[in-house]
Amino acid sequence: MQPILSVENLKVIFNTYAGTVQAVNDVSFTLHEGETIGIVGESGCGKSVTSSAIMGLIPSPPGRIASGRILFEGRDLVTMDEKSLQKIRGNQISMIFQDPMTSLNPVLTVGLQLAESFMLHQKLPKKKAMEKAVEMLKLVGIPAPETRIRQYPHQMSGGMRQRVMIAMALACNPQILIADEPTTALDVTVQAQIMELIKKLNTELSTAVILITHDLGVVAGMCSRVLVMYAGRVVESAPVNEFYANPQHPYSWGLLKSLPRPDMKSGTLESIAGQPPDLLAPPSGCAFMPRCRFAMEVCKQPPAPIKVTEDHMCRCWLLDKASPHTPVTLFKECETA
């Protein structure tokens, strides 16, 4: 099946006073209709920049897409002009942002902000668009939508505002929904509701979802594929079952082990020691090497992507034919340690 979105060797850089930051480096992945993929990784690993690049929202200057293609329905979003991008944004590809508290305009009614999508993309008159806005609020489970559309964001709770954001993103029934840490700013019970809602809409409207998160638990429950990003690169990508059963990259192990589990005995969670590398001067070899327990001499060279199975990719020297270790035994070892 043709993917609806394919990102090919995407590279995004930011020119700062201190130098050039390579925020996203050689990232490739595909997304199929109705599929949900999860992009995980620490803060600053390039997850959000990747999604902004897809939306064409890299602030420029200082940022710019240095190379690569983003193919949507066969058209390259990277080279597309602003007018055509505007027709796609919010219409065919839309996005939910991290912080619902600041992502809605405080001086416009929720109804107008929602209706705006319909007015822009479906050329509906304001009155019709407002009726549609009511429907959308109903769809995302906001009670009394008729009164809510006349309210302003400050009159709503965080969870409610994120529902509004979702309604806004889904207004024109997009093929792709990018959710950039949609629950980070919300408390746990609301988080679950929001994730449930995204999942429900994903199945009902068959919208493909790119879920950006650092919550591997959420990924396990929602996604069909996982991309692990580190320092601007995809270090491992695998179908979700394969990823949890057979992770290959030491960074993925670290992420998985820092997750609380019901069968855990001791009280402290493990963390990955050290800091992500400075992207102004990234290490020439594997970016994870300074933090990796299994680093070898060869890790000073950049690792090439290696196919573990047909759709499981990993960038790690441990998988090289010449490697003295097999990653699986190492993972078992460090799990029991």
Partner 1 sequence: MLQYVSKRALSMVLVLYIVITATFLLMHSIPGGPFTTEKQLTPEVLRNINARYHLDDPLWKQYIDYMGNILKFDLGPSFKYQDRTVNNIIADGFPVSIQLGTFAVLLAVPFGISAGILASLRHNRPLDYIVMSSSTLGISIPSFILASFLIYFFAFKIKLFPAAMWNGFSYMILPGISLAALPMAVVARLTRSGMLEVLSQDFIRTAKAKGVGKGLIIYRHALKNSLIPVVTYVGPMTAGILTGSFVVESIFNIPGLGRYFVTSIYNRDYTVILGITIFYSALIVIFNFLVDIAYVFLDPRISLDKKGDS
Return residues touching partner 1 (CB under 8 A). 55, 57, 86-91, 94-95, 97, 99, 102-108, 116-117, 120-121, 151-152, 154-155, 165, 168-169
Q: 106 or 267, CB closer to partner 1?
A: 106
Q: What minimum distance in Å lies between the beta carbon of 277 and partner 1?
A: 27
To partner 1, the closest distance from the beta carbon of 168 in angstroms equals 7
When the beta carbons of 178 and 219 are compared against partner 1, the nearer one is 178
What is d(CA 192, CA 40) in angstroms, rounded to the nearest whole number?
Answer: 18
Rounded CA separation 161/186 (Å) = 10
Task: Quote the Cα angle for 47-193-258, to 5°.
Answer: 50
CA-based Rg of the chain, rounded to a whole angstrom?
A: 21
Question: What contacts 279, CB < 8 A, 6 or more positions away?
Answer: 21, 22, 23, 44, 231, 232
Minimum CB–partner distance for residue 208 and partner 1 (Å): 16
- The rounded distance, in Å, linking the Cα atoms of 229 and 46 is 7
Is residue 115 within 8 A of residue 129, CB to CB? The reply is yes
When the beta carbons of 112 and 296 are compared against partner 1, the nearer one is 112
Which of 263, 266, 207, 216 lies closest to 236 in space, CA to CA? 216
Q: Whose Cβ is closer to partner 1: residue 132's or residue 225's?
A: 132
Please report, as a single letter, which amino acid is at residue 285.
G
Q: From the CB of 8, what's the least distance to partner 1, in Å?
A: 22
Query: Cis omega (within 30 of 0) on the bond before 61?
Result: yes
CB of 117 vs partner 1, minimal distance in Å = 6
Please, how many CA atoms are within 13 Å of residue 276, restricted to the half-sphere of its CB? 16
Torsion angle, alpha carbons of 122, 126, 132, 136, to 10:
100
Of the pair 7, 168, the CB lying nearest partner 1 is at 168
Query: In terms of CB distance, is 55 or 235 closer to partner 1?
Result: 55
DSSP result, 183-237: TTTS-HHHHHHHHHHHHHHHHHH--EEEEEES-HHHHHHH-SEEEEEETTEEEEE
Burial letters for 241-255: b for 16+ Cβ neighbours within 10 Å, e otherwise?
Answer: ebbeeebbbbbbbbb
| Count of alpha carbons within 13 angstroms of residue 200, beta-carbon side | 12
Q: Identify which of residues 50 and 237 has a Cβ nearer to partner 1 in the complex.
A: 50
Q: Residue 266 CB, nearest distance to partner 1 (Å)? A: 40
- Give 169 or 231: the residue with its C-beta nearer to partner 1: 169
Residue 97 beta carbon to partner 1: minimum distance, rounded to whole angstroms: 6
Q: What is the DSSP letter of 285?
A: S
CB of 75 to partner 1, least distance (A): 16
Smallest gap from Cβ 112 to partner 1, in A, equals: 8
**Which of 115, 316 has the CB closer to partner 1?**
115
